[in-house]
A and B are shown apart, each in its own frame.
Chain A
């Protein structure tokens, strides 16, 4: 990026919301820049959450959450095909264990019907156990939502970004917005350490930092409370313990600790909910771990604790109004918020993008369709899923597909190189992991980590000691220091 760049629109934040907006705007003849402060996109809340495409019975009718949830869920059917997303339409169950819970289910059913969620039904105990035989035998019934699904949120964000970039959007990483510059109450650009980006519109999709971004422009109209949720992920070996998304009946405060499959056949439990002071606090805690284990055991008594492969946590961006904040700033013209996007933000993201485009239009921006817009991403090669003949063809085309780097998930060097070279290419070890799954298996990168590091160094043309795990300063290895060598008796 040069010292001064110009665009029509700058989007701040490369999470699922920012990337969905970038992709939506790439349909039109607009000059759009997406800026992200980390080396890679999808490194914020979008990487650590429950990954559910919610059906939409949770939120109260008349909220943006309710409307955009149901719309977003429906949109993913098309997106799944256009962008080759990993989605499984598993359906979800909200499980009741008491008479009080049964009352809650009825409320949820009515709310869901008002929100126009398709196919909702109350199931009897027997029907629930038929679907989920491993659940606790003291369930009383459940609310069945067939339209719920599970997917890969970071995969979706990368796919949105890939498609946006292919259609002309520019992505600047390691490029935090430091200041939103306004003249006469109107946005004129964004200041970043890499230079000034002149623009007429700024879209604030900065996740937990959206209130800080807003304040940069003198807009103090909302604030965000970070609320952490912790998880435990289990080995694929035990992945068949549940087949659908299983919630407990919700309390007033949260959807509760769930037991849920992943698109790759693992299961996880979580999240709890804890308000935190520091927006970067993605630590896990012993109390959090025991809380989610205890709660999950109420649903699934035979929780395979020995098969845990990792723990992580994500931070919800809860706005003080309780709903999504998607609107023009009332303080600075040209600043549009897509803020307070807590759950169901993943589900709603493509619908949020439509709303943002609509707001631009209402502001007088002409949205002329781009004739060259291509709504499809090329289908990536996933070696493991190919037939033998396809595998052979892929290797003949590119021998790197014949070298397995991640042995737990059977990920080849070809896939890793492709992940680095795709339009929104990986720049970090975790970025490779999000795109390919290398390092997500039971050995959690113990074997492939150093190899992925070496491939990144080679492809990015940097030294191994310059390769990072995730954030800007998360270097992995140092150059060797001078020291004595102890080798004796070597042949």
Chain B
């Protein structure tokens, strides 16, 4: 086992990892290794064959694979970037040794000066949300079904009920309709959808697929294969209301009930996680609580748009490259960012200042529930307002972005609070 030395090892070759590799290279990293467990680069995008990717980044409507391909090309043009496919990272150690395995090399270790975690996320399953009933074949997560339909060429069912109105569920409602399946309904336990408005319109309304808000599945039926579900309306505590049950016949249930950042590796090495995002606590450079370990993309917090994932990957790539070259200036101050009122999560969770900080800070925030006429305020020491943003509408599914010049933080105190008020005029 020979242990090669890299400036940078990137775990995961999705859009976050690819953007990180590209930007690390532009920022002077000499040798970069991207490790991807799948057969190809591109991450989850490879199975997202619908369009609508890249509107911010490329001002063009690309498919997922199309978007991914642009970054794959950028990365492949650089001899500095080495890629290992079909390779799984098993463990990352505090001394930045990365242990991985593949059929060709077996188990091997590489040594990194800096590590970037870009492992993406996984889907929440039936077990996690405790849907009662039988356990026949035909219950899938929407993402697994998406992979089968778009990459392997099989469909998961012919008469389908989708639980959860997240974007993946909505996209699959349309995809399967186009594949000839009957999507009976989409059920959503919350009184509002978590999906992007454009997806509700383009994936459900256009195909007359009903969306039942404040509804859930209370039982799955079928011995071998799903034969139907019993649904019910839920009350304000999300408990099914007796007497509101109705049955829908179907042979397939797709679950689109949330994504969980995949932080097994980061957690094991000792990176601190944020209990609300389920991702690492990071600063504006995407450095985690462990020096020299960075993170970007869905592993940090679940993104709705891949454009922001690429942006985050670029940030992490740049600062990891600087770190690896010993060029990342020492921090002299850390400011914690706290979320309050309607704001549920904010990334980054910390701002660090050094003698040379110049890049503006972009805060990515999510609200806990839909809000109207919201005024977002970033408040520093002595109640000094550093930035504000007015939002006519804010939805949990849509990220709020707020850019703040770094010098605003100069006299901010130990923490700043991101809070909200009902706007007087919006």
Chain A interface (Cβ < 8 Å from any Cβ of B): 232-233, 280-286, 288-289, 308-312, 388, 391-392, 395-396, 399-404, 407, 410, 443-447, 449-450, 454, 464-465, 468-491
B225 within 8 Å of A (CB atoms)? yes
CB-CB under 8 A for A410 and B127, given A289-B132, A395-B101, A481-B179 = no
User: Cβ of A468 and Cβ of B107 under 8 Å apart?
Assistant: no
Please determine whether A309 and B103 come into contact, CB atoms closer than 8 angstroms: no
Bound-state Cα–Cα, A407 to B87, Å? 12
Q: Give the distance in Å from the alpha carbon of A447 to the alpha carbon of B70 in the complex.
A: 26
Q: How far is the CA of A454 from the CA of B39 in the complex (A)?
A: 14
Contact status A391-B132, CB under 8 Å: no
- A308 & B127 in contact (Cβ 8 Å cutoff): yes
Q: How far is the CA of A474 from the CA of B252 in the complex (A)?
A: 12
- Report, as a range, how many residues of chain B touch the other chain: 35 or more
Q: Provide 20 A-B residue pairs closer than 8 Å at the C-beta atoms, listed in order of the A residue.
A: A233-B127, A283-B134, A308-B128, A311-B132, A392-B106, A399-B104, A404-B88, A410-B90, A443-B123, A464-B152, A474-B137, A479-B154, A480-B149, A482-B180, A483-B179, A487-B63, A488-B63, A489-B60, A490-B65, A491-B62
> Residue B61 at the A interface, CB < 8 A?
yes
Nearest CB to that of A449 among chain B residues? B144
Q: A388-B107, A489-B60 are in contact. Are A309 and B88 (CB under 8 A)?
A: no
- A401 partner residues in chain B, CB cutoff 8 A: 103
Chain A proximity mask over B97-124: 1 for CB below 8 Å, otherwise 0: 0000111111100000000000000110
Total of A-B residue pairs, C-beta within 8 Å: 169
**A454 neighbours in B (Cβ, 8 Å):** 152
Residue of A nearest to B262 (CB): A407
Residues of A within 8 A of B155 (CB): 477-481
Contact B61 A489 (CB under 8 A): yes
A216 to B133: give the CA distance in the assembly, Å.
Answer: 31
The docked-state distance in angstroms from the alpha carbon of A284 to that of B221 is: 11
Q: How far is the CB of B401 from chain A (nearest CB, A)?
A: 25
User: How far is A280 from B222 in the complex, measured between Cα atoms in Å?
Assistant: 10
Set of chain A residues within 8 Å of B149, measured between Cβ atoms? 480
Bound: A478/B179 CA distance, A = 11
**Contact yes or no, B137 A476, CB < 8 A:** yes
Chain B contacts with A in 50-109, Cβ cutoff 8 A: 50-51, 60-63, 65-66, 69-70, 86, 88, 90, 101-107
- Whether the Cβ atoms of A491 and B154 lie closer than 8 Å is no
Assess A284 versus B103: contact at CB under 8 Å? Given A233-B127, A473-B225, A487-B63.
no
Give Cα A232–Cα B131 distance, bound, in whole angstroms: 12
Q: Which residues of B contact A (CB under 8 A)?
A: 1, 37, 49-51, 60-63, 65-66, 69-70, 86, 88, 90, 101-107, 122-123, 125-128, 130, 132-138, 140-141, 143-144, 147-149, 152-158, 174-175, 178-181, 218-219, 223-225, 240
Q: With a CB–CB cut-off of 8 A, which chain B residues contact A288?
A: 132
Known A285-B132, A400-B103; further 15 A-B contacts with Cβ < 8 A = A280-B223, A283-B132, A286-B218, A286-B240, A310-B127, A395-B103, A403-B88, A403-B102, A445-B125, A445-B144, A447-B144, A473-B225, A477-B148, A480-B153, A482-B180
Closest chain A residue, CB of each to CB of B134: A283
Q: B125 contacts A391, CB within 8 Å?
A: no
B125 engages A309 (CB within 8 Å): yes
For residue A474, which residues in chain B have a CB less than 8 angstroms away from its CB? 136-137, 224-225
| Interface residue from B137, B174, B180 paired with A475 (Cβ < 8 Å) | B137
Check B90 against A464 for contact (C-beta < 8 Å): no
- On whether the beta carbons of B223 and A471 are closer than 8 Å, the reply is yes
Decide: A450 and B152 in contact? CB cutoff 8 A: yes
List, in ascending order, chain A residues with CB within 8 A of B69's CB.
Answer: 491
Smallest beta-carbon distance B202→chain A, Å: 10
- Bound-complex Cα distance A468 to B223 (A): 13
Inter-chain CA distance A471–B224, complex, in Å, is 6
Q: A481-B181, A491-B69 are in contact. Are A311 and B137 (CB under 8 A)?
A: no
User: Does A444 contact B225, Cβ atoms closer than 8 Å?
Assistant: no
The docked-state distance in angstroms from the alpha carbon of A286 to that of B132 is: 6
* A491 and B104 contacting across the interface, CB-CB below 8 Å: no
In the bound assembly, the distance between CA atoms of A58 and B65 in angstroms comes to 61
Q: Which residues of chain A come closer than 8 Å to B1, judged between CB atoms? A: 388, 392
Considering only CB atoms, which chain B residue lies closest to A305 in the complex? B130
**Smallest Cβ-Cβ distance to B65: which chain A residue:** A490
Least Cβ–Cβ distance between B32 and chain A, in angstroms: 23
Known contacts A402-B106, A489-B51, A491-B62; A477 and B143 CB within 8 A of each other: no
B159 nearest CB across to chain A (Å): 11
- A402 vs B105: C-alpha distance in the bound complex, in angstroms? 8
Contact A396 B106 (CB under 8 A): yes
CA distance A407 to B37 in the complex (A): 10
